[in-house]
């Protein structure tokens, strides 16, 4: 029975499941490292997914990709406007975005596709390149998926940006001590805008992946808490890209294992198994408590220039 569960397929499906979570998680890292909490990732993802389907139905999957990224970017900027310019509570702003993202698509679906409720018609997916002729990789991954590949590459890229570039150093300084950063001449608010916009764009890409790559349509609440799991992975991975990567692989493996076990006939209650990432994150929070968790010191606090 075990060979039915632990076969080569589980590697590929782990990566497929981990991709949207990882993108959200990286989005979370970028925002929080700059000192802005982003619990609106789930909503940004959902709006990205919805916009991608609109784009794909209008002008094909590449336009869908563009729409998805733009939707994420705009929601990110909205979050930035409220939390950076208005200096309102960032948690409140994020919550409002999550609530908005649940409602808005449901109003628009019957407007754009008359007669459809809660679920859109099937649209064109982003193309994949067949890899089955390539040795080794071909047996692992039947197809080359651009978003998955991009996501995997983003991890070392963002790590390098955060830790080995001027931009990254400045960004991290905003999350730790914005006053000091301001004193040495870093434009705090502008940098934070860039970070939040990037965060939203990554969440939008996560949504795009879900709706026009993983699936081929939008359905209500299709993100199913993935934005929040991404947030969990960010914490679990201590606000580091590689940490988040391993957390997402772990969470993704848990879900892939559950699905594989289910189809192999092992009776595991799926609902309880889906709670696994959340339980694990709580345990991780408690176990690293007291020590330095790696959370940016100034995250969540609006910066008021003197």
Partner 1 sequence: MTDRSLDKKRPTLDSHQGGRRSRLGAIMGSTATSSVIVILAFLLGFFILGITGFNPIQAFSAMFRGALGSKRGIAETLLSMTPLILSGLGFALAYHCKLFNIGLEGQIAVGAIAASWLGYSIEGLPCVVHVTICLVGACLAGAVWGFFPGFLKARYNIHEVISVIMLNHIAFKVAAYMVSVGGPMKDPTDLMPASPYILTTAKLPRIWAGTRFNVSIFIALAMAFVVWVFLYKSRPGYMMRAVGSNPDAAQTVGISATSFTILAMVLSSALGGLAGGIEILGIHHRLLAQFSPGYGFDAIAVALLGQLNPIAVVASSFLYGVLRSGAVLMQVTTGVSKDMVSVLTATIIFFTSMKEPFARWMKHLFSAIKGHPMIGRSDSHVA
The piece of 99-107, 136-144, 171-179, 207-215 that touches partner 1 (CB under 8 A) is 99-107
User: Is residue 56 a contact partner of residue 43, using CB atoms and an 8 Å limit?
Assistant: no
Rounded to an integer, what distance in angstroms lies between the CA atom of residue 14 and that of residue 126?
20
Site membership for partner 1, residue 294 (CB under 8 A): no
Residues 173, 18 contacting (CB under 8 angstroms): no
In 3D space, the residue among 20, 173, 44 whose CA is nearest the CA of residue 98 turns out to be 44
Query: Residue 130, interface with partner 1 (CB under 8 A)?
Result: no
**Residue 250 binds partner 1, judged by CB under 8 A:** no
- Which residue, chain included where needed, has tokens 């150093």? 169
Asked if residue 126 binds partner 1 (CB under 8 A), the reply is no
For the chain, the distance separating the N- and C-terminal CA atoms, rounded to the nearest angstrom, is 66
Q: Does residue number 282 form part of the binding site for partner 1 (CB under 8 A)?
A: yes
How many residues form the binding site for partner 1 (CB under 8 A)?
47
Interface pick for partner 1 out of 225, 246, 266, 301 (rule CB under 8 A): 225
Of 83 and 145, which CB lies nearer to partner 1 in the complex structure? 83
Integer angstrom CA distances of residue 265 from 7, 14, 49, 243: 15, 19, 32, 33
Task: Report the residue number, 51 or 148, with the smaller CB distance to partner 1.
Answer: 51
Query: Which residue, among 133, 131, 161, has the nearest Cα to 146 in the 3D structure?
Result: 131
235 is a contact residue toward partner 1 (CB under 8 A)? yes
Q: How far is the CB of 90 from partner 1 (least distance, A)?
A: 9
Could you tell me which of 300, 282, 306, 292 has the C-alpha nearest to residue 83?
Answer: 300
287: tokens are 């176990």
Stretch of 124-132, 203-211, 231-239, 241-249 contacting partner 1, by CB under 8 A: 231-239
59 lies in the site for partner 1, by CB under 8 A: no
Tally the residues of the chain.
306
User: Binder to partner 1 among 133, 289, 292, 306 (CB under 8 A)?
Assistant: 289
Assess 119 for contact with partner 1 (CB under 8 A): no
Instruction: Please tell me the distance from the alpha carbon of residue 236 to that of residue 284, in angstroms, as a whole number.
Output: 6
Please, what is the minimum distance in Å from the beta carbon of residue 110 to partner 1?
6
H-state helical runs in the chain: 2-5, 8-33, 41-59, 61-80, 90-112, 137-140, 146-164, 166-176, 178-183, 188-209, 226-236, 241-263, 270-274, 276-288
Binding of partner 1 by 281 (CB under 8 A):
yes
Please report whether residue 228 would count as binding partner 1 according to CB under 8 A: yes
Q: Which two tokens stand for residue 231?
A: 């947030």
Q: By CB under 8 A, is residue 58 in contact with partner 1? A: no
Q: Which two tokens stand for residue 116?
A: 């459809």
100 binds partner 1 (CB under 8 A): yes
Binding-site member from 26, 53, 158, 231 for partner 1 (CB under 8 A): 231
Residue 286 lies near partner 1 (rule: CB under 8 A): yes
Per CB under 8 A, the segment of 11-19, 48-56, 81-89, 200-208 that binds partner 1 is 81-89
Sign of CA dihedral 133, 138, 143, 146: negative
Residues that bind partner 1 in the complex, under the rule CB under 8 A: 37, 39, 82, 86-89, 91-93, 95-97, 99-100, 102-104, 106-111, 117, 225, 228, 231-232, 235, 267, 269-272, 274-275, 278-279, 281-282, 285-286, 289-290, 293, 300
């Amino acid at each position: 029975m075990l060979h039915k569960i632990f076969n080569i397929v589980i590697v590929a499906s782990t990566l497929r499941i981990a991709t949207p979570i990882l993108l959200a998680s990286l989005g979370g890292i970028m925002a929080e490292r700059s000192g802005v909490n982003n619990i609106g990732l789930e909503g940004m993802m959902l709006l990205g997914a919805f916009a991608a389907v609109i784009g794909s139905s209008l002008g094909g999957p590449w336009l869908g990709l563009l729409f998805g990224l733009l939707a994420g970017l705009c929601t990110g900027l909205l979050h930035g406007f409220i939390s950076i310019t208005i200096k309102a509570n960032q948690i409140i702003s994020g919550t409002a975005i999550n609530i908005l993202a649940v409602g808005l698509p449901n109003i628009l679906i019957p407007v754009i596709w008359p007669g459809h409720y809660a679920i859109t018609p099937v649209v064109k997916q982003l193309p994949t390149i067949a890899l089955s002729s390539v040795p080794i990789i071909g047996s692992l991954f039947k197809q080359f998926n651009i978003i998955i590949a991009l996501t995997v590459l983003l991890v070392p890229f963002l790590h390098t940006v955060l830790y080995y570039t001027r931009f990254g150093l400045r960004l991290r300084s905003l999350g730790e001590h914005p006053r000091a950063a301001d004193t040495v001449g870093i434009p705090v608010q502008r940098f934070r805008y860039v970070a939040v916009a990037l965060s939203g764009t990554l969440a939008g890409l996560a949504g795009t992946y879900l709706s026009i790559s993983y699936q081929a349509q939008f359905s209500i609440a299709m993100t199913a808490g993935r934005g929040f799991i991404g947030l969990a992975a960010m914490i679990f991975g201590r606000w580091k890209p590689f940490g988040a990567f391993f957390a997402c692989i772990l969470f993704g493996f848990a879900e892939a294992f559950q699905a594989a076990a289910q189809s192999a006939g092992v009776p595991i209650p799926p609902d309880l198994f889906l709670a696994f990432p959340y339980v694990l994150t709580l345990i991780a929070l408690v176990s690293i408590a007291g020590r330095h968790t790696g959370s940016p010191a100034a995250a969540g606090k609006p910066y008021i220039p003197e």
